[in-house]
Amino acid sequence: MKFEIIVSLFATMIISAVLTPFIRRFAFKIGAVDKPNRRRVNKIPMPTLGGLAIFIAFTFSTMFLLRDQMPTQQLWGLFGGECIIVAEGMIDDVYELKPHQKVIGQLLAALEVYFIAEVRMRYITLPFIGTWHLGLLALPITLLWIVAIINAINLIDGLDGLATGVSIIALTTTGITGLFFLNVANTWVAIMIFALVAAMVGFLPYNFFPARIYLGDTGAQFIGFMIACFSLYGLKNVTFISVIIPVIILGVPITDTVYAMIRRILNRQPISHADKHHLHHRLMQLGLTHRQTVLVIYGIALIFSFIALLYPLSTIWGSVLLTVAIMIGLELFVEAIGLVGSNRQPLLHWIKRIVKQFTSKTSD
């Protein structure tokens, strides 16, 4: 059985790789093309819609190659939500939807999986506090989680291969933690995760720098949607450990999204306002090349993933201390690269003052 699964995953990767050139030509025909402008990094028109190849390969894999591994209700429930988010993404890639129109599509997909596939949070167990049953709050919290993760992945899709590679790292780590550490969900969830990873690996050679096709909103939103759903299967009955692990695994997109919101609020701009101050923009502005920036962010994503693997091995106090250390280290990194602004470095300024006072006392 394990051999059959491995063969099916390999076939999924091949299907995605074979489909991508055809999707590329299809994107040009229907006008799903990313044209150069002051916010884009591409210098020539680039076909989007690459996520359609991932979606088709993943769907063929789960519906046919791995069908015996999947429970019917969850499989079809997820498929309904996938179709909604992919359809909305395709429309956006061709016609460029407004932010609120995108959110409507995302909410429809989230509602579908909430009621049909039972993708939801039910209650939270926190250390030293106890269990909190969400009750009526289960629906809004679940919808918020799904929409937030979709847009977090969509926001980092700014360089060749960036969102694809970071998502591969995040999903692989999610699958590993689910199988070997948390026993978060049934085996079928991990199999679906690795099927999606296989489809993305088949697509990545076409998407990595220099890219021949982009994920587009079709791909970025589909991947974000699936990451959110997979993580929620492990968050039905939430503990401190099970809620922090997916957050750490998704450290790169979540960090970029949170600090983008903070930056825009401080600059008195709408949260949906687009700018060129995201993580990848800042690294390139500091002198890194396109390829170097992508590889550095891959490295940061791997660091987050390795840290996430430490949580199941830690005590509660160890996990708390680890979380505090991550937050401090992350804030120092964010301030060092000027993600919120070069003049907004409170922690660095405080450390410099402490060091200056210490050195002045030492010299006296």
* pLDDT digit string, tens, across residues 71-89: 888 899 999 999 999 999 9
* pLDDT digit string, tens, across residues 15-30: 999 999 999 999 999 9
Answer whether residue 200 shows pLDDT above 90: yes
Answer whether residue 185 shows pLDDT above 90: no
Nearest to 223 by CA among 175, 148, 154: 154
Q: Is the peptide bond before 210 cis (omega within 30 degrees of 0)?
A: yes
* CA 255/CA 152 separation, integer angstroms: 9
Q: The tokens of 293 are what?
A: 């920036």
* pLDDT digit string, tens, across residues 291-300: 999 999 999 9
For residue 25, the model assigns a pLDDT of 96
Q: The tokens of 133 are what?
A: 């049953």
- The binding site consists of 154, 217
Answer whether residue 261 shows pLDDT above 60: yes
* CA 95/CA 33 separation, integer angstroms: 10
What's the CA dihedral at 244, 246, 248, 253 to 10 degrees? -130
* pLDDT digit string, tens, across residues 231-251: 887 655 445 566 677 788 888
Question: Any bridge partners for residue 238, and if so which?
Answer: 124
- The binding site for Mg(2+) consists of 154, 217
For residue 344, the model assigns a pLDDT of 80
Nearest to 121 by CA among 272, 14, 246: 246
pTM of the entire predicted model: 0.89
* pLDDT digit string, tens, across residues 296-320: 999 999 999 988 888 877 777 888 8
- Can you list the alpha helix ranges (DSSP code H) found in the chain? 2-30, 51-60, 72-95, 99-115, 138-155, 162-176, 187-207, 216-233, 240-249, 251-266, 279-285, 290-310, 316-337, 346-363
For residue 184, the model assigns a pLDDT of 46
113 pLDDT band, cuts 50/70/90, is very high
Over pLDDT 70: what percentage of the chain? Answer: 90
Question: Any bridge partners for residue 33, and if so which?
Answer: 47
What type of residue sits at position 88? Answer: E
Nearest to 195 by CA among 74, 56, 87, 305: 56
Residues 96-110 have a mean pLDDT of 94
* CA 252/CA 155 separation, integer angstroms: 11
Which range (44-58, 160-174, 344-358) has the least confidence? 344-358
181 pLDDT band, cuts 50/70/90, is low
Nearest to 251 by CA among 346, 160, 152: 152
In the three-class reduction of DSSP (H, G, I as helix; E, B as strand; rest coil), residue 291 is classed as helix
Residues 326-343 have a mean pLDDT of 86
Whether the Cβ atoms of residue 254 and residue 152 lie closer than 8 Å to each other: yes
Over pLDDT 90: what percentage of the chain? Answer: 45
- Can you list the alpha helix ranges (DSSP code H) found in 137-215? 138-155, 162-176, 187-207
* CA 22/CA 32 separation, integer angstroms: 13
Nearest to 55 by CA among 173, 216, 189: 216
For residue 233, the model assigns a pLDDT of 79
130 phi and psi, to 5 degrees? Answer: 120, -160
* CA 228/CA 148 separation, integer angstroms: 9
Residues 4-13 have a mean pLDDT of 94
